[in-house]
Structure 1
Amino acid sequence: MGTSWFGMEHVIERIEHHRSIGMIGIDLTEWHNGFSSEFRESEFNWTNWLSISMGRNDLWFGDVVAGHLWLYAEIPGSLGDEESDAYLRVLAKRVKEAIIAHNGPAGNSTAQANRQQDRGIGYSLLRDWDRVPAKDVIYQGVLRATGLIRDSLMDQSDWELRIELDRLLSESSIRSVYQPIMRLGDGRVFGYEALTRCPEGSLFEGPLALFQFAEKHNMAFALDRLAREKAIRYCPSLGAVQKIFINVTMGIINDPHFVSGQTVHWLNERGLFPGQVVFELTERRSIDDFEAAKKILGHYRSQGYEIAIDDAGAGYSSLQSIVELNPDYIKVDRSLVRMADKDEMKKHMLRTFVRFAKKMNIRTVAEGIERPEELRLLRAMGFDFAQGYLLGRPSEFPATAMMGAFPKA
């Protein structure tokens, strides 16, 4: 259907009455393959389709240029720039959903169809009508929206993972499971380590891939906050001296909002207090500034929280970091524990950790115990606590899972 350049004439008419307008671009080229669509027809009446499908008068057709559909939308005047971007993004997704529903994606699963909604869309807030000619305003909007479309199609896998991460955060659909940490002296449950799990059917292979992707895309703080909330809200009932171990990185713990009033609120809801929380530092790289790290950790210790260094002996953690940070716990990596009863070098390393920790008044936790022989060895060496499949697998309801007796050594 015929129109002016990007529907400019209609935009100029609208801005006389409503100054806050945005542009939406949708890539239609994928409908040329795999979809049987009347949208490809040059005379397709987009204005009529939008009126029927979307049922709103604040969204209108602009043009179809080089396989891209261009629309305009009035934006509520009360929204700021970031809110306007979010508004346009949601509206663009709704239009894409309507297009998919109209065509019926051939051969795509529901999950694939849902992810299609976020691919091939772009948007831009149009501004500076008073200072810049309307044609230039629209041109700049086309450039920005086209850039977003290009980025969404450039790396489909990365883009889909980003959308998946957004979904996990918005729906709070990650969950926590809890693995018991046992006292080696009497076999009682000392506490639980909270471990994050992705929902069934997630695009992420596991929690490690999820957290690595979040860090890469500057969303680690949001994911960590959600994981911490889940860990606290759903943790098993704890006795007065039992602990919940929560994984964090040095980068996260450095954030001034890391342990906010919200965290204390979650603890209060469960009848817990900071002294029952142990933050496990899981950073698998060296700490560059020990003085800054000690100051940060000292701040949280003053509030009652305890600190553990995880993965000790895995090739990243060193005796220097333990000496400098003086943690409350050392968690010895499973790579040293596995088959240690048959390996003299591992035995020597484990004895070194125990002797060193006892001299510094640090408690030791041996991870990854899967065999009675390993348990017997670690108990004889003087380890304080133990964790592993032999003692209990991660579970949402570990109290039920731990009905069995402590394995006899």
Structure 2
Amino acid sequence: MKGLLRHIFPLSLRVRFLLATAGVVLVLSLAYGMVALVGYSVSFDKTTFRLLRGESNLFYMLARWENGAIDVDIPENLNMESPTVTLIYDEQGKLLWAQRDVPWLAKRIQPEWLKRNGFHEIEADVDSSSMLLRNNHEIQEQLDAIREQGDDSEMTHSVAINLYPATSKMPQLSIVVVDTIPVELKRSYMVWSWFVYVLAANLLLVIPLLWVAAWWSLRPIESLAKEVRELEEHHREKLNPNTTRELTRLVSNLNRLVRSERERYDKYRTTLTDLTHSLKTPLAVMQSTLRSLRGEKISVDEAEPVMLEQISRISQQIGYYLHRASMRSGGTLLSRELHPIAPLLDSLTSALNKVYQRKGVNISLDISPEITFVGEQNDFMEVMGNVLDNACKYCLEFVGSFRAPDHRQPSAHPGGRRWAGDPAEPAPGRFRPRPAG
């Protein structure tokens, strides 16, 4: 059960939309239906009262007052087919005349009803209602069906009261007209039963339409979720900015976040790559020193300062790149520090001479003491260390420098040929100049 609930909840946006809209439609349908039914009921009562009042006026026109009694001359056809029963009372509420002798009906007429015009209803059981119907076989059959079902529900009959003032020929009269056909058996009453079916049909028709509306309305969110999945699977570079107005800000912020994360990842990757390259030279020096120490070419006292210097350089490089990686700004931090090149290159050549001692490489750099470098010392050491290391690796025996008209470059002489470090010209073998970063 809990697994089923976890599968169902929390509800999706489409289900929430359907439930909320279906609830609103149901409430509105009930409200409109009740208003329509109440309006129809009021209109039906007014129409019934108008018809019964017409019957009352007809009996008043047919009535004659003679010798202190009321005599109504009713045509035979009207008396047989009339769907009503008429009772005439005097001013004191005494029954003067009845169209048919129905004792239970006379008892149900309340004395206070006879004092003013009005429309009322009386309740009667099936047998009592059957007494009011004589020649209407269709209604009798319906009452018999209700009686056979054992339904104890009572029938409702409409009653119209009309007061007529006294005249020279007639005393004041109250004419009561009772509709013999129960309200429950009239076609108009079926509207209350049809309302349930209409409401059910309304929901069955509206829910599919609501489903289509929800599918169409939530398509931008579904498309956004699909794009996010593609972004997670690296099948997409960014989210589509052409979306609905409500999602534009969200998509823009997500794209900005993705771009920021990608830039940070590239920054860390570049930093690690630079750190790897910067550690190559001191590690190579340490390896060469250990090899010389093992071959007893140098003593421990001679190797110790070299090892400590390279360890210090490694520690300095790691600290520098960690600091650079932790900087929040993605931009390049420019330093305006001045560093003389000659001392820096002397330390590099001294270290590389130890590394390539077996190869017999001769490194000769003619650098003027006046030449300076503007920027981070670690960046210069990394770039020049890589350049000189590659030059020593791919040269035959000599690495030197030459003067150019506007700048100075290291050069290597592999087998009598010179490679001047020009980026447009590939180096011998697999060597490619590594640009400064």
Question: Normalising by the residue count of structure 1, what TM-score does the alignment of the two structures yield?
Answer: 0.22
Structure number, greater radius of gyration:
2
Answer 1 or 2: higher relative contact order, Cα 8 Å, separation at least 6.
Answer: 1
Q: Which has the higher helix share?
A: 2
